[in-house]
Amino acid sequence: MHLPLRRANFPASMAVEVNPASFAAPRLVALNDALAETLGFAPEWLRSPEGVALLSGQTRIEGVPALAQAYAGHQFGQFVPQLGDGRAHLLGVVTDARGDVHDVQLKGSGPTPFSRRGDGLAALGPVLREYLVSEAMAALNVPTTRALAAVTTGETIWRDKPQPGAILTRVAASHLRVGTFQYFAAREDREALAFLCDLAIDRHAPSAREAENPVKALYETVVARQARLIAHWMSLGFVHGVMNTDNMTLSGETIDYGPCAFLDTYRHDKVFSSIDRNGRYAYSNQPRLAGWNLARLAETLLPFFDTNEDHALAWAQEALGRFQSLYEEAWLDRMRPKLGLATKGDQDKTLIEALLEVMETEALDWTLSFRRLARNENLVAGPAPATLERWMADWQARRALEPASLEAQHDLMQRNNPAVIARNHRVAEAIAAAETGDFSVFEALLQRLRQPYDNDAAYELPPMPEQIVHATFCGT
């Protein structure tokens, strides 16, 4: 059987060859057939005993060693000079039919030299959570890593309680993180940084090769992609939960779905992560923290921006300074269609922010509120508060300036406001059932998340009070 995987070529300082752990009874519980075919894998082979052995790290292709990559990172603002893949193994890279290169990585596959006294394993719950949410994000056209497969290991692991062990197979444009560059900058390894810049340009910004300074062009590309990514998150009410520099990719993909969640009731300062006690990564802080992370990336690249340190710093500040305007432009480009607006108006930002104030004051559900507007339904039960009535009047006046008909405007809204998202309580239900051996709830939810714009009353509803998930936890 020909497999598309080939060796990921990193210098020894960047990645350590290390075998995944041995597991006695791995079992495939989820496989992304469409993604497998895109990558050149035969789904029927991946379901075979040989395929499951590959997806659980029990076998590897000759000449393609499994690797654990090195990186550092600011975790909740504190710099940790060595983190790295503590429970992940890079199986190799593949090139799809379009010529795009992807990493294929196992998560929860055992300890590595970067495990820092951890067991290197993952529980079934966090694996399924990442599978569901990353595939939901892909269906919403958000740049994201993808889930190829989930495998149970047949072993019990201990966290706050005994849980089934599992492994996620993750596919990424690359695993180059801001923290990857920080690792080598902290060691003043100029040669390694140059290698990383070349790799990042090859993978993620090939047009930068034509620039007078390719590293500057690379950085500008990363800034613009992050502005668009965070704007997309914000438009969907998505809270990543742990925007450490080791969780920001140069590819602009969303990565590491640990304590992430989608908003139910809108609150600008909403935090889900159980360890984010000071609200550093609250919903409304995400644009600011993305800029902060990009500043840390710039610090690692200063020698490549200009040989004169002052000139390099001045250029970096100018390039980073464009992030806020790029973000705001991208955010408005996402929010206008949610209100049926295809043209730009000078007061659009004020109109959108006024709606968000009403939604927060009235404790309205983020996703359902926009979907109700798209259906021309009332946002609240009973009489509308005066603030909402005023906003509706302002919105109707703005819509009257649109060249498109009201019907076309509603069609635009339907296409930009999902009906079904990976609601926290639904994900929790799927995990709870799977932990008892019932994967039918997981499969049903996964299929619905892949069609987010189709109406489905059962999956659209926000949680009942007793179903609300107040905190999420890191796992994979």
DSSP 473: -
Q: List all residues 6 or more positions away from 331 whose beta carbon is below 8 Å from its beta carbon.
A: 231, 234, 235, 287
Cα separation of 239 and 468, whole Å? Answer: 16
- Are 103 and 409 contacting, i.e. CB atoms less than 8 angstroms apart? no
Q: How far, in Å, CA of 222 to CA of 430, rounded?
A: 35
| DSSP-assigned letter for residue 20 | P
DSSP for 326-357 reads: HHHHHHHHHHHHHTT--S--TTHHHHHHHHHH
The torsion defined by the Cα of 13, 14, 17 and 22, in degrees rounded to 10, comes to: 130
Residue 165: half-sphere exposure toward Cβ, Cα within 13 Å: 21
User: Which value, in Å, is the radius of gyration of the alpha carbons in the chain?
Assistant: 23
Selected catalytic residue, list 246, 256, 264, 365: 246
Please list the residues that pair with 147 across neighbouring strands. 170
Is the sign of the CA dihedral 297, 299, 302, 303 positive or negative? negative
Residues 130 and 459: their CA atoms lie apart, in Å, by: 19
Cα–Cα distance measured from residue 382 to residue 138, given in angstroms and rounded to the nearest whole number: 37
Q: Is the dihedral of CA 312, 209, 247, 119 positive or negative?
A: negative
Residue 420 gets which letter from DSSP? -
Distance CA 6, CA 4 (A): 7
Say whether 246 is catalytic.
yes
Of 222, 152, 99, 95, nearest to 439 (Cα)?
152
**End-to-end Cα separation, the chain, in angstroms:** 31
CA distance 193 to 83: 17
Q: Which residues are catalytic?
A: 246
